[in-house]
Amino acid sequence: MKKYWWKILCILLLLFVIIAGFLISVPAKVILHETIRNLFFHVPMWMVMFVLFTVSFVCAILYLRKGDFKYDIAGETAASAGLTFGVIGIVTGAVWAKFTWGQYWSNDPKQLYTAAALLIYFAYFVLRNSFTNIDSRAKVSAVYNIFAFALLIPLTVVIPRITDSLHPGNGGNPGFDIYDSTGHLKVVLYPAFIGWTLLGCWCFNLSYRFKKVKYKKLFKSL
- Where b means 16+ CB within 10 Å and e means fewer, 81-119 reads bbbbbbbbbbebbbebbeeebeeeeeebbbbbbbbebbe
Q: Which residues of the chain have pLDDT under 50?
A: 181
* Domain coordinates in residue numbering, the chain: 31-214
Please write the tens of the pLDDT for every residue from 43-102.
999 999 999 999 999 999 999 999 888 999 999 999 999 999 999 999 999 988 888 888
Q: What is the pLDDT of residue 181?
A: 45
- For 64: left if phi > 0, alpha if psi spans -120 to 50, otherwise beta; the answer is alpha
Question: What pTM does this model have?
Answer: 0.88
Residue 54 is predicted with a pLDDT of 97
